[in-house]
Structure 1
Amino acid sequence: MVNVDLKGKAALVTGGASGIGEAAVRRLAAAGAVVAIADRDEAGARALADKVGGLALPGDVTEPDAMAMAVDIAEDSFGRLNIVLLNAGITSGQSGIENLDLAAYRRIMGVNVDHVVYGLNAAVPALRRAGGGNIIATASLAGLLPLPGDALYTLTKHAVVGYVRSAAPTLAPEGIRVNAICPGFADTPLLKHAKDQLGDFPLLTPEDVVDAIQAVLDRGEPGECWFVQPGREPGPYGFRGVPGPKGGVAPPLVDWENH
Structure 2
Amino acid sequence: MSTVALITGAASGIGAAVARRLASGGARCVLVDLDQPGVERLAKEVGGAWLTADVSLPESSEQAVALAEEKYGRLDLVHLNAGISSGVDLAHFDLAQYRKAVGVNMDGVVFGVNAAVPLLRRSGGGAIVVTASLAGLVAYDGDPVYTMTKHAVVGLVRGLAVPLAREKIRIGAVCPGFTDTPLTAGMRDAFAGAGFPMLTAEDVAAAVESAFYAEEPGTLLVVQPGRQPVPYRYAGVPGPAGGQKPPSLG
Question: TM-score if structure 2 supplies the norm length?
Answer: 0.91
The alignment's C-alpha RMSD in Å is 1.3
Change (3 A) 1:92 1:31: same
Q: Which amino acid aligns with 1:240?
A: A
Letter in 2 for 1:61: V
**Aligned with 2:196: secondary structure?**
coil
Query: Aligned match of 1:211 in 202, 206, 209?
Result: 206
How far apart, in 1, do the equivalents of 2:141 and 2:187 lie? 14
After the TM superposition, which residues 109-188 of structure 1 pair with which residues of structure 2 at under 5 Å, given as runs?
109-188=102-181
Equivalent residue, structure 2, for 1:200: 195
Amino acid at match of 2:91: E
Matches of 2:77 and 2:69, distance apart in 1: 11
* Corresponding residue number in structure 1 for 2:18: 24
Give, in whole Å, the separation in 2 of the partners of 1:90 and 1:69.
21
Structure 1 residue 76: deviation in Å?
Answer: 1.5
Shift of 1:194: 2.6
Whole-Å separation in 2 of the counterparts to 1:179 and 1:242: 21
* Alpha-carbon separation, structure 2, partners of 1:135 and 1:165: 12
Q: For the Cα contact (< 8 Å) 2:172–2:212, is it kept in 1? A: no
1:227 counterpart residue number: 222
Structure 1: gaps spanning 5 or more residues: 1-6, 244-259
Going from structure 1 to structure 2, the CA distance change for 1:220 and 1:196 (only over 3 Å counts) comes to farther
**1:14 aligns to what?**
8
Deviations 1:13-65 (A, max 9, x none): 00001000000000010111000100001111111111111001111111101
Question: Which residue pairs with 1:236 in the alignment?
Answer: 231
Change (3 A) 1:142 1:33: same
**1:42 and 2:36 aligned:** yes
Deviation (angstroms), 1:220: 4.0
Highest Rg: 1 or 2? 2
What CA distance in whole angstroms lies between the structure 1 residues aligned with 2:154 and 2:82?
A: 15
- The number of aligned residues is 236
Q: Runs of 4+ in structure 1 displaced over 4 angstroms?
A: none
Equivalent position SS for 1:209: helix
Structure 1 residue identity aligned to 2:85: T
